[in-house]
Amino acid sequence: MSLNIRRGDAVVVISGKEKGKRGEVQKVIRKDNRVVVKGVNIRTRHARPTQQNQEGLYTFEAPIHVSNVMLVDPDSGEPTRIGYRFTDSGEKIRVSKKSGKDIDD
C-alpha cells in the first residue's frame, strides 16, 4: 500500500474517537500502515516510579491507522485527497484534489 502522508504533514482525524482533531505527523510506520500524530491518541503507561518520574506515569502518542487520517489542504485548511503530477524535470509532486495546488514545496 502506498502511503500518501509523510512526516511533517498537517492531518485531520476523520474517524474514530479522536475524530476532528488536527495535528502534525511525527512518525510514519510503513510496515503497519500507521502514523503517529502529535496530540492525537494519547495513551498513559504505568511503570515503576523512578527519581526522574515520581508518579511512574508516562504519556505518549500511540499510532493510528493511515486510513483514519486525511491531509489538510494548505489553502483552505479542509481535509483533501491527494493526487500526483510530474514536473517538466520529471519530479513527482503531490497535489491537493480540492484546490489543485501543490503540497510539496
Predicted confidence (pLDDT) per residue in 45-58, tens digit: 999 999 998 999 99
pTM for this entry: 0.84
Averaged pLDDT, 36-40: 96
The pLDDT, as a whole number, for residue 103 is 86
Please, which pLDDT band fits residue 104 given cuts at 50, 70 and 90?
confident
Which domains, from first to last, does the chain contain?
1-72 (2.30.30.30), 74-105 (no CATH)
b/e map 75-86, b = 16+ CB within 10 Å: eeeebbebeeee
- N- to C-terminal Cα separation, the chain: 24
